[in-house]
Amino acid sequence: MKSVVRIEATLNNGQVATGTGFAYSFARREDGMHVPAIVTNKHVIDGAVSVSLPISVADANGNETGNFEVITYPIKNNVIYHPDPETDLCALLAAPIHQYFKNKKSQPALVHLDKNIAATDTNFSELLPLEEVTMIGYPNGIWDSTNNGSIARRGIIATVPENDYLGKKQFVVDMACFPGSSGSPVYLANFGSYADRNGNLNMGTRIKLLGVLYAGPQHTASGEIVLTPVPTQNKPMSFTSMPNNLGYVIKATELAALESIAQSLLTNP
C-alpha cells in the first residue's frame, strides 16, 4: 500500500482530475542507478499542465516521520508514454520528487516496485479465472488525508488470465471500479498458502503485480453498454452511466515498453 500515490492533475481548463499511480523503478542497475517513476494511465494526465502528489516523508536514515508533503511539478518533459497509442499507460518521471526531498535532507517514503515483481507471460499461464486479486488506489478520490493512506479492495479475475482479452494485452477483473481508480495496481496477493491451477495446495506467499486498471464497461439508463476509461472526475453527466462492476486491466508485461524507454534515458540522459 506504500507504493501507491494519489494523483491530482490540473487540466488546461483549471479543473482537477483525480487518479492513482504507483512508484516503480525502471532500468535498475547493479550499482543502484535507476529511473524512478510513477506509473499511471495516459488518460489520468491527458490535458494536464501539472500534477500534485502527496508524498509521505522519511528522514535521512529512511525512518518514516508520519508526515507527508504535497509535491507539485509540471507535466512537460516529465512523462514517458507507452509507444502504442492504444495502450493507456505512461510514467511520470519522479526525479523532481526525489530532488525536492534531497534538498531538504530527507527522502520520500515510497516503496518502489520493479520488473522483479511484475507478472510475466509464464505467470499468467499458471493462473485460472476466479483467482482472488487485490487493487489499491483512491476510488472516488477517497483517501486517508491524515495519514496519506490508500484504499485496498478485493475482487477476482473474470477472464482466462493467459488470454489477451479482445486481442489486447489485458484481462478483466470482477471488482467495483469507481472514478479515481484509474492507474491502480492490481496484485495477485496470497499470504500463507495458495492453490495452483492443478489443485495443489502450496504453503508460502505469492505476490505479483498483474497489471494496471484503466477502463471498464458501463451501461446507460437506456440499456446501452459502452466501454469507457475509468473516469478521473466526479461531475454531472447528461446521461446516467452505471458501472458493471468489471474492470479492464493492462497486463504488467506492457511495462517492458516503458522499461526500454527508461533505459535509453539512463544511457543518454
- What confidence tens digit (pLDDT) does each residue in 151-194 have? 999 999 999 999 999 999 999 999 887 777 889 999 998 888 77
In angstroms, the CA 140 to CA 181 distance is 7
The reported pLDDT for the residue numbered 140 is: 83
Nearest residue to 111 (alpha-carbon basis) of 64, 147, 44, 143? 64
Chain mean position to CA 22: 5
Higher pLDDT, residue 12 or 252: 252
Residue 235 pLDDT class (50, 70, 90 cuts)? very low
More confident residue, 143 or 195: 143
Spatial CA neighbour of 178 closest among 208, 204, 199, 155: 155
DSSP string of 209-232, one letter each residue: EEEEEEEEEEEETTS-EEEEEPPS
Maximum distance among all alpha carbons in the chain? 58
| Higher-confidence position of 4 and 219 | 4
Single-letter residue type at 136 = I
- Tell me the one-letter amino acid at 213: L
Q: What pairing do the DSSP bridges indicate for beta strands 16-26 and 4-11? A: antiparallel
Please state, for a pLDDT cut of 90, what percent of the chain lies above it.
67
**Is the entire prediction scored with pTM above 0.75?**
yes
